[in-house]
Amino acid sequence: MKPESEYDLVIVGSGIAGLSFALNVAKAGYRVAIFTKKDKAESNTNYAQGGIAAVTSAGDDLDKHVEDTLEAGDGLCDPKVVREILKEGPDRIQDLVNLGVSFSSLDDGRISLGKEGGHSKRRVLHVKDVTGKAIEDALLEAIAKQGVHLFEHYFAIDLITAKKVRKLGVEVEGEDDRVLGLYFYDGVDKQVKTIATPAVLLATGGAGQTYLYTTNPSIATGDGIAIASRAGLESMNLEFIQFHPTTFHSQKGDRFLITEAVRGEGAKLIDGEGRAFLKKYHPLADLAPRDVVARAIDREMKRTGAPFVHLDTVSMDIDFADRFPNVYKNCLDRGVDPSKEPVPVVPAAHYSCGGIPTQLDCSTKLKGLYACGEVACTGLHGANRLASNSLLEAVVLAHRGSKAVCTFIEGRKENSVELPEWIDGDAQVSDERVVLSHNLDELKRTMWDYVGIVRSTKRLERAQTRIRNLRREINEYHWNTKVDLPLLEARNLICVAELIVRSALQRKESRGLHYTLDYPDLAQKPENVMVGPLIC
C-alpha cells in the first residue's frame, strides 16, 4: 500500500500516544495515516517495562498520586495539569482493558499493583515487565480494524506551513500560519514524498540518542522537537533529561533497562563491598526519586573509581524469574543470574521531561499542529517525571486531543494550495560516511561528558561550542547532497542537542534532573525555561 496524497490527520510516530490518537480519530470517521520511521512496533512504548500509574485500589486516592507527582517534579509541575491528567487515569485504564490488555493479577483475581520510586502507594499496573509491548500490541490490532493507514520506514523531514510556502511565492488564503502538510523520506524507494494534511500530530517520542549511553531504541533521535523548532516553535524545559538509574552494565555495550519496579519489589543498590548506600542520600533510600538515585550512583562511582555499582536482587523475597521474566532472560543472556548474583548497573539517558509546549488538548501555537507523549511538554512532569506517569499521560491526552482534532478537522476549510515539491541538493550522497559517523560519535560523547547527570557552566559552554561546530559542518558539508536517513537523523540530533544545552545554560539553579555545580541551590521562584526556534 502506498500513501495517498492527502489525509485528514497525519500522525508521526507509532508509540502509545500516536496509536491511541489514531484509534480515536479514525472511530470518528476521518482519514488517518500513521508514518513511522522504522517498524510499526519500534518505539519507546515497546520498551516500557515498568507499567502505567493510576489510582485503582481502595487504599489509594487521587490526592496521594497528585502529591507524589508534585514531589517528584520538584516545584515545577503545573498542579492544575497534574490533577486534570491523573483524575482521568482510571477511565483510560478501563479503555485499555476493553481493548484486551490483560494486566497482571494476583491469585485472588485482584490486579497486581507494583510500587516504584517516588510513589507512596502501590499503583503501577503492569503486564509482568513487558507492559509497553502489551499495550502497543493491543493498539496495533485495534487501529488495523479501524482502517488506519500505517506506513513503515517513512521519515518525517519537515512540516509544510503557510509561512514557508508564501516565501516561495505560493498564494495561501488568509494571513495566519498553519499546517499544510509534510515532507517524508521513503526509506524503501529512497525518495521524498509530499503529503497534504490540515492536521499533524507529532508523537515521535524522546531524544535519548543524543547521549552516548541510553535506554532508548535507535529511533529516539528527537525528530519531533527538531521539526517543530524548524517550523518556528519554542521548546520548553529541555534541560530536564531523566537518567534511568539502573541499566545493565556490559563492556560489550549491549545495555538494557532494568525497570525501577525491581527496586520497588525489594532490590537494593550496593557498592563494591556489598553495602547498601542510598540511605545516606535520601530517607526513601532505594525508592527515592530517579534524579536522586542517579546522582547517588554517579557519586559512588566517582568516589570508588568503579565503572558501575550492583543491584542486589538475590535477597529479594519474590520469584524474580516469574515477576520479571524479560529482565531475567536479558540478564541470563549476558551471563548474570539475578537470582544468584547481584546485577552490575549504571545510569543512562532515559526520558525527556521537556519538549514542545502544549495545552491539555495537545494543541501547539502553530494552527493544525498537535503533539502528544514524550515529545510534548504539558506541565505534568515538572523537573522530574514520576515513574510510570508517562504512559498514563499519553493515553489521557490522546483521548482529549483526539476530540480537539476532530473539531478542528470538521471546521476547517478545504485546502486548495498546491504544495511545492521537495528540492534535493545537486550532489550525490557522500561516500565518506565515516565523516558523518565521527560527527555523531563526537556529539554523543560531548553530551555525555558535559551535559550529563552533573553539569557546570564551563562544561555546558564547552558543549555548546562543539555542537555549534558540528551543526555548521553538517549544514555546509553534508546538506548539499541528496537526503538519506543517516543525514536526516544527524541533522535532528544536533539540533536537539543544541536546544538542550541552550536550555540548561538558562537555568541558574539546581532543580530536579538539572544539577549544576555552579548553582547548587534552588531559585526562589520556579520558572519554566523557553528556548526559541533553531533553524537547523
Q: Is residue 503 part of a domain?
A: yes
Tally of structural domains, the chain: 2
Q: Is residue 58 part of a domain?
A: no
Q: Is residue 16 part of a domain?
A: no
Q: Is residue 440 part of a domain?
A: yes
Q: Is 255 a catalytic residue?
A: no
Q: Is residue 480 part of a domain?
A: yes
Domain stop point among 314, 348, 382:
348
Specify the long-range contacts of residues 391-394, CB closer than 8 Å, at least 24 apart: 391/16, 391/45, 391/48, 391/51, 391/52, 391/53, 391/131, 391/132, 391/135, 392/52, 392/53, 392/54, 392/85, 392/86, 392/89, 392/92, 393/85, 394/15, 394/16, 394/17, 394/20, 394/45
Q: What is the grid cell recorded at 163?
A: 509561512
Q: What is the pLDDT along the chain (536 residues), one digit of tens a residue?
A: 889 999 999 999 999 999 999 999 999 999 999 999 987 655 555 555 669 999 999 999 999 999 999 999 999 999 999 999 999 999 999 999 999 999 998 888 888 999 888 899 999 999 987 888 899 999 999 999 999 999 999 999 999 999 999 988 888 888 799 999 999 999 999 999 999 999 999 999 999 999 998 999 889 999 999 999 999 999 999 999 999 999 999 877 778 889 888 998 999 999 989 999 999 999 999 988 888 899 999 999 988 889 999 999 999 999 999 999 989 999 999 999 999 999 999 999 999 999 999 999 999 999 999 999 999 999 999 999 998 999 999 999 999 999 999 999 998 766 678 899 888 765 555 556 677 888 999 999 999 999 999 999 999 999 999 999 999 988 776 666 677 888 899 999 999 999 999 999 999 999 999 999 999 999 999 999 999 999 87
**What is the value of pTM for the model shown?**
0.92
Q: Is residue 40 part of a domain?
A: no
Q: Identify the CATH number of the domain in which residue 296 sits.
A: 3.90.700.10
Q: Is residue 456 part of a domain?
A: yes
Q: Which of 10, 451, 492 is nearest to 224 (CA)?
A: 492
Q: Is residue 141 part of a domain?
A: no
Domain stop point among 321, 348, 375:
348
Q: Identify the CATH number of the domain in which residue 480 sits.
A: 1.20.58.100
State which residues form the domain around 342.
Answer: 247-348
Catalytic residue (choose from 263, 290, 323, 400) = 290
Domain stop point among 300, 328, 348:
348
